[in-house]
């Protein structure tokens, strides 16, 4: 009889694209339970942490850019 854990170890880890999409879905809180299960059973935490930090830096950069643009256009 095979165990569920043995089946998970034979499946490949999430690709970079799947990991990136999981991080973005987590940002918005819309991650599916199937993807969350895949991420926790086969994904590496370091990959999610690094991409999460990158996504946060991009988000902050976009916000700073928008605020800078708006303040310049407003003449402040």
* In the chain, where the domains are located: 4-74
Confidence at residue 67, expressed as pLDDT on a 0 to 100 scale = 97
For residue 32, give the nearest of 42, 22, 20 by alpha carbon.
Answer: 22
For residue 42, give the nearest of 75, 18, 23, 67 by alpha carbon.
Answer: 18
User: Low-confidence residues of the chain, pLDDT below 70?
Assistant: 1-9
Separation of alpha carbons 66 and 60, rounded Å: 10
Separation of alpha carbons 73 and 22, rounded Å: 36
Confidence at residue 44, expressed as pLDDT on a 0 to 100 scale = 93
* Cα within 13 Å of Cα(14), Cβ side: 23
């Amino acid at each position: 009889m095979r165990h569920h854990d043995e089946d998970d170890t034979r499946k490949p880890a999430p690709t970079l694209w799947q990991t990136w999409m999981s991080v973005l879905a987590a940002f918005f809180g819309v991650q599916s339970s199937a993807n969350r299960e895949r991420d926790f059973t086969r994904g590496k935490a370091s990959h999610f942490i690094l991409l999460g930090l990158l996504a946060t830096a991009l988000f902050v950069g976009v916000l700073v850019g928008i605020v800078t643009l708006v303040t310049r256009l407003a003449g402040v």
